[in-house]
Structure formats: C-alpha cells, structure tokens
Structure 1
Amino acid sequence: MKHLVIYAHPHAESLNHSILETTVRTLKNNGHEVVVRDLYTLDFQPVLKPEDTASMKAGQIPQDIKTEQDYITEADVITLIYPIWWTGLPAILKGYIDRVFSYGFAYAYGEEGVVKMLTGKKGFIINTQGTPKPYYDESGMTEALKMTSDTGIFDFVGIESVGHLLFGGVGHLDEEAYKQMLKEVEDTVASHFS
C-alpha cells in the first residue's frame, strides 16, 4: 500500500517526531511505500488567500496545493500525526486542510448533497496533548476530537477512518510511559497495516 504521512510538529526532538519515526519504520518493515510531508520542514504556507480561491475557481490550482493533492491522490492511506493545541489542529495543519482538501478535489455538492471525492482511501490519526487523557475522556473532549477530525475531515471527504490514537500528559510523564506510547504506536500501525 502507498501511505502518505502528513506530519505537523516544529521540533525534531519531540515525542511527535519519535511517533513519526516509529510509524514510518513499522510501515516500511511491513513492505509499504511511505511518503512523509513534514509541513514545518516544507515551510508550508497555511493561509488560504483570495488569490488561491480565485485561481481554483478559474481551474488553475496553485502549484503548492497541486503538489499536495497529487500526493493525496496517489495514497491509499493518509496518516496525520500532530499535537493537540487549544483542542484542535496546529495552524499549519489546519491551513493544509483548508487549502489542500479543497472544493472540487476532496468534496463537492451535488443533487444528493455532499459528494465525497476521496472515497476508497483509509485514514489514521495519532495525537499528543499535554492535558492528561482522563480529563479529556471525562469531559467528552476525546470524543469531540474524534468527531471533528475522523468525521468532520476524513468522513466528510470519503476517507474511511481506521483508528485514532490520543496520548495525554505529554511533557509530564517518565521515560517508561513514552516507551509504552511508542510501543502502542508500533503495535497499532502493524495491526492495521500488516
């Protein structure tokens, strides 16, 4: 299978980066092709500008958007790896979704309602957050995060969500806890994509 991993974290020494490395290594060990789009390394421009929408309406997709859309088109599986900041996506990833998952590429509207244009693809998400996981679980925030990303992004465009890992308390745990998180990433990725 062809995997596209969209990664959004600014620090190479972060747990997110270790999660990225674990994910890529596990997929490659299982014989999958993997492309990583590190949005910070790419210096991806996240702001949807008036000239972007004007160009797309005229049938001329800006090159940076077209490049990302081509990667998505080629992928069988799209994995998002990012931290939860202020109960949502980092701005650079939110802007990626705004600009790349555009009308006419990822979705459209027809007589029956929303036309999901990325059907046949699978999606997987891995998140970290500083807030302890029990707080998010008990407050309903964990389910809300899954609803806004798994349903609000993936399902809206036809991508079938196959899993979502959320790791809490990051920055406040011991080394063993982080090792266990990476082991869970490895085991989960291997089980979904053997």
Structure 2
Amino acid sequence: TWADHIIFIYPIWWSGMPAMLKGFIDRVFTAGFAYSYGKRGLIGHLQGKSAWIITTHNTPVFLTPFIQDYGKVLKNQVLKSCGIKPVTHTQLAGTENSSDEKRRRFLDKIANIAGSI
C-alpha cells in the first residue's frame, strides 16, 4: 500500500510469467484490497500507482506481437484492472543467443529509465 511505483522483473517461461509470480499476484491482488466488483466491471482500488514490467525471453522480437502473454496479461488484466496506470513494459527478446554487448545495452537502458523514477 505504501509503494507509488511497482516494478516487476521476470523471465517469460512457456509464454507466461513464472508460477511463483502468478502465486504472488493471486495472494496480493485480491478482491476487497486491489479491486472490487461494480455494476460495470471491476473497480480498481490502487489508483495513483504506476508500474514497470521488465521481461526477458528467447522469442525473436518480430514474433512477440503474436504471442499471447509476454507481459500483456499482467499489464492489462491485472494491474490496469486494479487501477494501476501508467504501466510500461520493457523487454529483452532473444536473451539466450544475445551478445554481451546487446545485454549491456539493455541493462544501460534499464538503468537510465530507473534513474528517472
């Protein structure tokens, strides 16, 4: 409740988030705390908060728009439904075969964004 900005950093496994993160979400983002049911759908209780999702995966970047999850479920179905916005998403595709230079540039990008939070 005290955090204004929440950062999620995780690898994509089998097109989704790791089970441990899913379990965390199921236990923390609960009805009555993070949201409630209204006549027109969910009412988010976490307004005024923002989030940043950082993911890594091995899928080539040109295929990621066609994949079901890759951070989209957490962003759109969980966080936004609970009133958290804006939610930004930064991802490193092709992690396993990426060069050290590509990984270094990604970490530099993350550091620059984090420095502005």
TM-score strictly above 0.5: yes
> Any unmatched runs of 5+ in structure 2?
none
Compute the displacement of 1:146 (Å). Answer: 4.5
User: Amino acid of the residue matched to residue 105 of structure 2?
Assistant: Q
1:141 to 2:67 alignment: yes
**2:38 aligned with 1:113:** no
The CA deviation string for residues 122-150 of structure 1, in whole angstroms up to 9 with x for no partner, is 1110000012222224xx228x5353121
Q: Is the 8 A contact 1:150 1:161 kept in 2?
A: no
1:95 aligns with 2:20: no
Identical aligned residues as a percent:
38
Alignment-mate amino acid for residue 141 of structure 1? I
Query: Does the residue aligned with 2:30 lie in a helix, a strand or coil?
Result: coil
What does the per-residue CA deviation read over 1:28-49, in whole Å, with 9 as the maximum and x for residues that have no partner? xxxxxxxxxxxxxxxxxxxxxx
Which one scores higher on RCO, CA 8 angstroms, separation ≥ 6?
2
Within the candidate set 87, 101, 116, 1:176 is matched to 101
Question: Which has a greater percent of helix?
Answer: 1
Residues 49 and 84 in structure 2, CA contact (< 8 A), matched pair in contact too = yes
Secondary structure in structure 1 of the residue aligned to 2:107: helix
TM-score w.r.t. structure 1 length?
A: 0.56
Q: Distance in 2 between matches of 1:151 and 1:82?
A: 17
In 1: Cα distance, 2:52 partner to 2:86 partner: 6
1:154 counterpart residue number:
79
User: Deviating runs (4+, > 3 A) in structure 1?
Assistant: 144-147
CA shift for structure 1 position 106: 0.6
- The Cα shift of 1:189 comes to 2.2
Cα-Cα RMSD: 1.7
Which has the larger Rg? 1
When normalised by structure 2's length, the TM-score is 0.90
